[in-house]
Structure 1
Amino acid sequence: MPTAMITGASAGLGRAIATALAPTHTLFLAGRPSSRLDRVAEEFGATTWPVDLANTEDIETVVEPIVELDVLVHNAGVAYPGRVGESAVEEWSATMAVNLLGPVALTLALLPALRAARGHVVFINSGSGINASPGLASYSASKFALRAFADSLRADEPALRVTSIHPGRIDTDMQRDLIAYEGREYVPEQFLTPETVAAAVAQAVATPLDAHVHEVVIRPR
């Protein structure tokens, strides 16, 4: 069975992606050790990998045993709501560390394994990676940069498939924090479900090998 590593799989969209890929892939769940991640791993018979995207120095050593990897899904991310004038440099640094530098470091560490499998790298980006969103200054910047990294990886590694997923707002804890910042009532029905976005990820991964899905843009109806 092909292998798939998913970051940020302990809840929300990451857990939904694990659910969508579990029937067809052996799962490697990467993230900070936690009881929630352990429960997801137990449910799917998956292996956990103690990867802290904010600590790039240890990533290469952690994933060194992986010699072949079919799919890498970059899902983990953070957002600090705030307009430019409200933001702090520390928030920009923390956002870039998890949303950009961590995925870069993990991809580079796993590049030999991905090449060996002629694998597929999926980046969970955002609508904010296409059009900057008010109140999400550092998040939008990190997602624009992540899209550029995905495009560069696709251009420089033609043996790999590289897909950027750009969903609109999703019903997750991160979304609740953003709506609270905006001072609005949270209405889950206004947003995409994690399962809908996970299905798009699974469909991109299942695309026959004669095709290459570069980008997927999903918006709530």
Structure 2
Amino acid sequence: MLDVTNPRTLGRSICIITGASRGFGRALAHEVSRWLQPGSVLLLVARSETLLQELKGELWSFIVDQQSAVHCVAADLSTREGLDETVRVARQEAVTEMDRVLLINNAASLGNLSNFATFTGIDEVNSYLSFNVSSALVLTAGILQAFPRVPLQQRSVVNVSSTFALRPLPSWVLYCTAKAAREMMFRVLAEEQPHVKVLSYSPGPMDTDMQRDILRLTGVKNHLLPCQESAEKLVKLLLDDDFVSGTHLDFFELKKLTSRDDTTM
């Protein structure tokens, strides 16, 4: 089983990444694969089969060198069928002994950026919350059931969050509400299941399709991070494993702490 005294490995793991075909999820797939031991499994989930297969090709050296597996699940996580298929494929790997089960809930959408008073139709709101909140709850519960606790096995759940889970922004009511709901949802999980390590990670504004949509819709241009830089920070948090379960950590706050430590050395 995993040598917990060695922080520089994720062990022989099954890692499920949602929203894996683009942007941050794609960068995470590359970064996580660098720290997995032979015999691991990467389960990549997104809507686009084509993009997933391209990503699998990019990870080919990982598959060969590590004698590991990459499975692609082209699924719409806003539907029961998509959620059930993702859990079904993950459960197939449950028969294999693993050091760690790691679920990264990255899939999300921007939603309609409009004033609060414009949301008079319940269908639009329900549809948004179903994909951005309900699906993360159902998928996480399904994965935890598929991988019940066993001695010495680590189970970790990451919620890809946002600074807007903690502070409001005009015209972003759907996005802020969903991120805040997910934040509390995973804090409850941390309280209920102390043997599951839970992290809400705010990756910062990254060079993704979502940020290009924000620029087009609002005219606001942010300084954008490379996805790989933020992915490296998240994986380092998982490797070090010294955060309190259920906590919210932000890329920029972590960067300030790192810079401060460097100046005092």
Do Structure 1 and Structure 2 share a fold, with TM-score over 0.5? yes
TM-score bucket (shorter structure): 0.7 to 0.9
Distance 1:47 1:141, change over 3 A: same
Counterpart-to-counterpart distance in 2, 1:202 and 1:159: 20
Distance of 1:142 and 1:198 partners within structure 2? 22
Deviates more, 1:80-89 or 1:174-183: 80-89
Unaligned residue ranges in structure 2 (runs of 5+): 1-11, 64-69, 257-265
Indicate which of 210, 214, 219 corresponds to 1:174.
210
Identity %: 24
Does structure 2 retain, via aligned residues, the 8 Å contact 1:66–1:110? no
Q: CA offsets, 1:96-135, max 9 Å, x none? A: 1121111111101111316343310001011111112222
Equivalent pair of 1:70/1:120 in contact (CA under 8 Å): yes
Q: Per the alignment, do residues 114 and 84 of structure 1 end up closer, same or farther by CA in structure 2, a change over 3 Å counting?
A: farther
The AA in structure 1 aligned to 2:78 is A
112-121 or 38-47, which deviates more: 112-121
2:166 aligned residue: 130
The amino acid of 1:37's aligned partner reads: L
* TM-score with structure 2 setting the length: 0.74
Structure 1 unaligned residues grouped into runs of 5+: none
Specify the SS of the correspondent of 1:5: strand
Aligned runs of 1:89-168 on 2, under 5 Å? Answer: 89-112=122-145, 113=147, 115-116=149-150, 117-168=153-204
Match of residue 34 from structure 2: 23
Larger radius of gyration: 2
TM-score by length of 1: 0.88
Tell me the secondary structure at the aligned position of residue 119 of structure 1: strand
Counterpart for residue 101 of structure 2: 70
Q: Tell me how far apart the structure 2 counterparts of residues 182 and 83 of structure 1 sit (CA, whole Å).
A: 13
* CA RMSD of superposed structures (Å): 2.2
Deviations 1:47-81 (A, max 9, x none): 11243210135523542324266110000100122
Aligned to 2:240: 207
